[in-house]
Amino acid sequence: FLLFLKLENKTKGKLQKQICQVVLDHFEKQYTTELGDIWISVRDVLTYPMCWQYAILLNKFSQSAELENTLHVKGYHPAFQGPLPYLPASLKCYIRRTPGRFPAQKHQAGKLKEYYLLNAASLLPVLALEVKDGEDVLDLCAAPGGKSVAILQCAYPGNFHCNEYDDLRSRWLKQTIESFIPDPLINLIMVSKLDGRQIGDLKPELYDKVLVDAPCSNDRSWLFSSDIQQATLRLIQRKELSFLQFQLLRSAIKALRPGGSLVYSTCTLSKAENSDVINLILNSCSNVMPVDISEMAKAVSQEFTFLSGTQQHELLVLPEKGRAWGPMYVAKLKKM
């Protein structure tokens, strides 16, 4: 028992050590102002990885009845049920209330993985996008590839363009696609390393649906930056992120066909990178209008906690104990 206590204290010590104080102080200031008392409970979840949860997205191209039985036995249940405006039967994601991580599968050349571990909230942008068979789809900032894989669980796009500008992340994206998507279908996917800000000019009005899962200040991982200098640099560069996000969105709008729709998402709580960016786009682009996604939010409110008071075209998932999903901001726009 004493040994167990020692080990537990050791892990607690490790967790305490891992938190980057520079980032936490910065977040304290900003999020206390933006979220008020809500920040305290959100902070408790974000700074304590032992209570984080992981969802299991099944791969329909490598189905296993045995895996689903195992998940049921271990207390997992479907993440998405009820009257969602869009929920393809082929999208299967399992969650459970208790923390803990299902073992990840290693990448093996020529062998498809059976599931993908992810934050369940990161499937909300995919559900908001509502991709249908035959539509031309662009995933503008696609790495590491979880949302691309999820889109392909939902429908068979006519053309599917996955773009990732960063070299290392682009390799990661390719590996993810190879791990989950079978051969004939892989030929429908174009993976590029273009500057997302230029895609709109290079491929004007080419897509029915565009996902902009933008580079953002990733609150979860930034809190555990082990390199203080890198963390400080990140916080300085953070101010420039909203302009990059705005440029990516403007490019995405150009790439959309009239009548097409766009979903913007981030994994930060930051108002400057979320609703401020969307408001700026709505005020400066006369050819887009907001799309109400409140029905989707209502349908999943049993499993996800949302910030109240947001507009109908946006939602913000707040992590809380037992529902430690998010942060995840989602907004939907349509091109006129």
**pLDDT tens, residue by residue, 185-217:** 998 899 999 999 999 999 999 999 999 999 999
Give me 49's structure tokens.
């990885």
- Superfamily for domain range 21-335: Vaccinia Virus protein VP39 (3.40.50.150)
Q: Is 146 annotated as a binding residue?
A: yes
Q: Is 285 annotated as a binding residue?
A: no
CA distance 61 to 112: 8
Q: Is 196 annotated as a binding residue?
A: no
Q: Is 135 annotated as a binding residue?
A: no
DSSP 3-state assignment of 178? helix
Give DSSP secondary structure letters for 35-50: HTTHHHHHHHHHT-GG
Q: Is 164 annotated as a binding residue?
A: yes
Q: Is 162 annotated as a binding residue?
A: no
Contact present, 208 and 257 (Cβ < 8 Å): yes
Average pLDDT, the chain: 94
CA distance 240 to 227: 21
pLDDT by 10s per residue, the chain, length 336: 434 334 444 444 444 458 999 999 999 999 999 999 999 999 999 999 999 999 999 999 999 889 999 999 999 999 998 799 999 999 999 999 899 889 999 988 889 999 999 999 999 999 999 999 999 999 999 999 999 999 999 999 999 999 999 999 999 999 999 999 999 899 889 999 999 999 999 999 999 999 999 999 999 999 999 999 999 999 999 999 999 999 999 999 999 999 999 999 999 999 999 999 999 999 999 999 999 999 999 999 999 999 999 999 999 999 999 999 999 999 999 999
Q: Is 28 annotated as a binding residue?
A: no
How big is the chain, counted in residues? 336
CA distance 91 to 57: 8
Q: Is 144 annotated as a binding residue?
A: yes
Q: Which amino acid is at 319?
A: P
Active site residues: 267
pLDDT of residue 17: 52
Q: Which amino acid is at 279?
A: N
Q: Is the overall model pTM greater than 0.85, yes or no?
A: yes
Neighbours of 111 (CB within 10 A): 12
Contact present, 190 and 161 (Cβ < 8 Å): yes
